[in-house]
Amino acid sequence: MGRAATATCSCGFTESIVLGGTRASHLTNYRYPHLCYECNSVFSGNLYQSDIVCSDCGSSDTKSYEEPTLRQPSKPSDLEVEYSGSMFLGRSSALESRQDVPGGIFSNVWRWLVSISVKPRVVSKYRELTLYKGGYSCPKCKTFCLSFAATAFID
């Protein structure tokens, strides 16, 4: 489930963004805020795309707000989590690891006895994303006063 959010700064900058994805598009569309250096805006970039371009001006001179260089928290409220999500990266099959079987003299016998019944298990991979409430770089005034606030759930 995604969220609608607003990026605001004390200088008057305000921008609406989308975080995460929906049930219909969560495997192909995962939105996260990005900064565009060309038009000085904040936009929701799709993290599934290899090249993220600004939705306002089309520039590729952008950076995700995941980057540590775009955040300098200065007050306790800047450390509060505003959004936390998991981006699905895919599945893979994993065989039973060596530490799951007995060791010592019987390890080869064990592998031979259970090799018929060992099945690969499906392992899902995720990318954890966290957006904090504040301390982000504002594209308008260039200070670290930009904050994010979730306004609604979307699906």
User: What six digits make up the tokens of 55?
Assistant: 């939705």
Closest CA to 70 of 136, 131, 23, 24: 136
Rounded average pLDDT over 119-143: 87
> Domain spans of the chain?
2-89+127-154
Range with the lowest mean pLDDT among 4-8, 22-26, 134-138? 22-26
Residue 41 CB neighbour total at 10 angstroms: 20
Secondary structure (3-state) at 89:
strand
Starting at the earlier edge strand, list the strands of the sheet with 147-154: 14-19, 2-8, 147-154
Residues in the chain: 155
List the structure tokens of 84: 């936390």
Q: What is the pLDDT of residues 45-56, one digit of tens each?
A: 999 998 999 999
pLDDT at 17: 96
Calculate mean pLDDT across residues 106-117: 60
Pairing relationship of beta strands 2-8 and 14-19 according to DSSP bridges: antiparallel
Record the pTM: 0.77
